[in-house]
Amino acid sequence: MTKKEQKSSASDFSSDFPSESRMEFDATISRMVQAIGGKSQEDLASFFEISKDAIYKAGRQGKIPPAWFLTIGKKAGISIDWLVSGVGPMRPGNAQAAPAETQKPAVAPEDDLPWMAPEAAPSMGYALVPKVKARLCAGTGSLETEGEVIGYYAFKLDFLQKKGRPKKMVLMDVAGDSMEPDVWNGDTVLIDESQRDIIAGAMFAVGIENEVFVKYLLRIPGKLVLKSKNSEYDPIEVDMNGDLAGAVRIIGRVVWSCREYVR
């Protein structure tokens, strides 16, 4: 590699993920190959269902996508800290397990699965937030399930800390059009369950009996008002001294949302 190429390669390093020298990069990739029971970078590319060129590109840029660590950690039961640094046991509890392609899914307590902890992989500066199957109704509809976790999504830890408590955050999908154009049918919202004190005009996830709504909240004497953004929907007024008072629960404040354009 020429001095010009070395300078260019160094300039590609990103603060979003720990920068690595070429030797460190190769060592990390080798650990990944070992973790999946592979023999080459082609095996690793096949595991991720990407082209081998994507591996080469990561090497040129001097950084490895965090999703690669999280995917191996989850699928193969590998310690993320070990993948990143090579320090510590390869697997949580130093348990012996089969390579990823032959290993059967294991059921273990959440505390034993570092990739499932809300503040997992701190050395990478990322946190994992659980997404639950329950759909928030932005109109009408029923709660599909009581918080069944269907996956984990990586966020920058400092991003989450600016918005609340990462360990108390959860992702849910929204169903209905009553919050359009602020939140559309099918959008995903990030809820901080530690923020339950009502702030006038803020968006919250609210449970009423067996339904969950995402609404703007207002408090008036003796009543809680759930207000939609869509003018076609009338506000829902809950008498806090009535029969439904005990059935109302503030789940948490909506602190962020996202939208997919290809499903």
| Burial zone of 127 (CB within 10 Å; 0-12 exposed, 13-18 middle, 19+ buried) | buried
pLDDT tens-digit series, residues 50-86: 888 888 888 877 778 878 888 888 888 888 778 877 8
DSSP the chain: --HHHHHHHHHT--TTS----HHHHHHHHHHHHHHTT-SSHHHHHHHHT--HHHHHHHHHHT---HHHHHHHHHHH---HHHHHHS-S-SSGGG-----TTTPPP----GGG-GGGSTT--GGGTEEEEEEEEEEEESSS----SSS-EEEEEEEEHHHHHHHS-GGGEEEEEEESSTTTTTS-TT-EEEEETT--S--TT-EEEEEETTEEEEEEEEEETTEEEEE-SSTTSPPEEEETTSTTGGGEEEEEEEEEEE--S--
- Give me the mean pLDDT over the 229-235 stretch: 92
Residues of the chain with CATH 1.10.260.40: 3-111
Averaged confidence pLDDT in the chain: 74
Q: How many CB atoms lie within 10 A of CB 27?
A: 14
Looking at residue 142, its pLDDT comes to: 32
Looking at residue 88, its pLDDT comes to: 77
Looking at residue 190, its pLDDT comes to: 94
Residues of the chain with CATH 2.10.109.10: 126-258
20 pLDDT tier (thresholds 50, 70, 90): very low
- Give me the mean pLDDT over the 170-192 stretch: 90
Looking at residue 27, its pLDDT comes to: 84
Looking at residue 194, its pLDDT comes to: 92
Architecture per CATH, 126-258? Ribbon (2.10)
Which of 92-101, 166-175, 238-247 has the highest mean predicted lDDT (pLDDT)? 166-175
CATH topology of domain 3-111: 434 Repressor (Amino-terminal Domain) (1.10.260)
pLDDT tens-digit series, residues 117-154: 333 445 457 788 888 876 555 544 333 334 577 777 88
Looking at residue 5, its pLDDT comes to: 39
Residue, of 116 and 224, whose pLDDT is higher: 224
Looking at residue 12, its pLDDT comes to: 33
- Give me the mean pLDDT over the 208-234 stretch: 88
Asked if residue 227 lies in contact with residue 182, where contact means CB atoms within 8 angstroms, the answer is no
- Give me the mean pLDDT over the 91-118 stretch: 40
Q: Is 216's pLDDT higher than 90?
A: yes
Looking at residue 110, its pLDDT comes to: 34
- Give me the mean pLDDT over the 233-254 stretch: 83
195 pLDDT tier (thresholds 50, 70, 90): very high
Looking at residue 136, its pLDDT comes to: 54
Looking at residue 85, its pLDDT comes to: 76
